[in-house]
Amino acid sequence: MVTRVSGLRYKDGKTEKIEDVIVIEQKVDLYLNGKKYLSMVASMDQLEELGAGFFTAAGIAHDIHSVCVKGKSVFVEAGSVAEISGSLESAGGFDPGLPAGHVTSNARITPEEIFKIRETLNADVWNETGGLHCSVLYYDHKEAAISSDIGRHNTVDKVVGRMVLDKLDPSSCVLGCTGRQPSGMVVKAANAGIPIIVSRAASTSAGVSLAKESGITLICFTRDGRFTVYAHPERVIGLDKE
């Protein structure tokens, strides 16, 4: 996912030659039931998860039969497939033009678990490059998958894909993300059936609205012993709502 390049670093009036670690940018081709669906920028690992998770989180296919990776091509076979008129969003995500799913779950989370998930997102590769996002999936209060990628949308797709491939119950999962949570990110959890999102970053007005409408507990700005719950706070144990 990373490589080294030479550069000149300026600091406090001095210049020095350095070898810096940067993210490798490459493209992946996704195929669905034998037909090319789209090309996307992604990091070249966990491509099986990316294929399964992309189509699940976009609400395009929920019955994934198989995923096969050949080089930079990912071939996904699925059952019922929604007919869409998709487009790329300005933030880099893919909008299939489908209504968001609605999540029902009795899942609960404590503040201690929220901070634990936040700490899991401090991936070494982020500290090294500053250019890779990270997502983590917790299942039944334990870490089940983690992914780093050049695209924040891809990291979610990859951990959702691991959930699909391992046949985990989404209603018992929590999604942790480094990236902000606009509607295009929140909808991924809604389509995957994941009831709780924990993010280090901000949301947007559309992201909050979608979380409320789709039944998702949206927790953002998780840092330094604090967090903000924007939707469905009833899932956070011990939260004083007054």
Q: For residue 167, is pLDDT > 70?
A: yes
Residue 139 amino acid letter: Y
Residue 120 amino acid letter: T
Mean pLDDT throughout 60-68?
94
For residue 50 the two structure tokens come to 């990316």
Cα separation, 223 vs 191, in Å, equals: 27
Q: What is the pLDDT of residues 86-122, one digit of tens each?
A: 555 544 567 666 778 899 999 999 999 999 999 998 7
pLDDT-derived band of residue 78, with 50, 70 and 90 as boundaries?
very high
Q: Which domains are seen in the chain, by residue range? A: 26-95 (3.10.20.10), 111-235 (3.40.140.10)
At residue 97's C-alpha, the angle toward residues 175 and 56, to 5°, is 40
pLDDT-derived band of residue 125, with 50, 70 and 90 as boundaries?
low
Cα separation, 14 vs 11, in Å, equals: 5
Cross-strand partners of 10:
15
Residues near 25 by beta carbon (within 8 Å), at least 6 away in sequence: 41, 150
Q: What is the pLDDT of residues 134-166, one digit of tens each?
A: 999 999 999 999 999 988 899 999 999 999 999
- Model pTM? 0.89
For residue 119 the two structure tokens come to 């700490």
| Backbone dihedral angles phi then psi of residue 229, each to the nearest 5 degrees | -100, 120
For residue 154 the two structure tokens come to 């891809």
Q: Are the C-beta atoms of 228 and 220 separated by less than 8 Å?
A: yes
